[in-house]
Amino acid sequence: MTSPDRRQHVIDTFSKHLREHGDGAQAVGWGSDASQAKRFSVLAQIGDIQGVSILDVGCGLGHFFRWLKANELSVDYTGLDITPEMVTRARAEHPDGVFENGSVEDVVSSGVARFDYVFASGIFYLDVDGGYEAMAATLRAMFALSNNGVAFNTLSTWADQRDAGEFYADPAETLSLCREITRWVRLRHDYHPADFTCYLYRQAL
């Protein structure tokens, strides 16, 4: 599947989720609101994010922005998603946020923006051709846009069971991939049996 085909597959999949599930966590591929919130909490533990600028890659309906506000974390937020319907809905639901239609590679190519932290929750869960190579390209683009660091999560091969059509990453292989981007890396596999989070930093803590 070529890159344009992968992009269209993602757009088609999440447009379908949105029509079927409305505003809930399942619209962006998560099993429940609780599991989505837990993942957001772990992502936010990358560092002190109060008052920083962030880019939320694959922002979907703006659920991470909603979670940040509910937890009294005031940030300069920009959400980014390739699915037009998601962006339209997010703008309507969160007029106090900035939501853009496009990919992280598009933002890098524009050369006009950098953010203190760049986040991504669930953007690697679809099993489309590209695997680790596609993940690495996206992470390099995210890191290029960050002043301080990147946090992302992905489904894990350590899961007790796997669902068809979903991509499960090996934690050790993913850590090695991250190490090619920066030596300052942390891996969290302590909050969910089928999911892990990585933090990539620009410098030692």
Q: Give this prediction's pTM.
A: 0.88
Distances (CA, A) of 185 to 40, 103, 125, 149, 180: 18, 24, 21, 10, 10
C-alpha–C-alpha distance, residues 84 and 147, integer Å: 27
CATH number, residue 30: 3.40.50.150
* Higher per-residue pLDDT: 191 or 36: 191
The distance of Cα 200 from the centroid of its chain, to the nearest Å, equals 13
Mean pLDDT of the chain: 88
Q: Over 70: is that where the pLDDT of 137 sits?
A: yes
C-alpha–C-alpha distance, residues 108 and 49, integer Å: 22
Confidence band, pLDDT 50/70/90 cuts, at residue 17:
low
The distance of Cα 196 from the centroid of its chain, to the nearest Å, equals 12
- Which residues are bridge partners to 165 per DSSP? none
Per 3-state DSSP, the chain is made up of helix, strand and coil in percentages (nearest 5) of 40, 25, 35
Q: What does the pLDDT read at residue 20?
A: 62
Q: Note the pLDDT tens digit of each residue in 1-11.
A: 346 666 666 66
Q: Note the pLDDT tens digit of each residue in 164-178.
A: 888 999 999 999 999
Q: What does the pLDDT read at residue 112?
A: 72
For residue 18 the two structure tokens come to 């949105």
Q: Are 145 and 113 contacting, i.e. CB atoms less than 8 angstroms apart?
A: yes
C-alpha–C-alpha distance, residues 122 and 18, integer Å: 15
Q: Note the pLDDT tens digit of each residue in 24-80.
A: 554 455 567 888 899 999 999 999 999 999 999 999 999 999 999 999 999 999 999
The total number of structural domains in the chain stands at: 1
Please compute Rg for the chain using Cα positions. 16
- Its domain, for residue 8, covers 3-201
The SS3 assignment for 21 reads helix
> What residue ranges in the chain does DSSP mark as E strands?
53-57, 76-81, 98-101, 115-120, 146-155, 184-188, 195-201
For residue 164 the two structure tokens come to 């068809």
Instruction: Residue 86: name the closest of 139, 32, 22 by CA.
Output: 22
C-alpha–C-alpha distance, residues 22 and 5, integer Å: 25
Q: Are 56 and 10 contacting, i.e. CB atoms less than 8 angstroms apart?
A: no
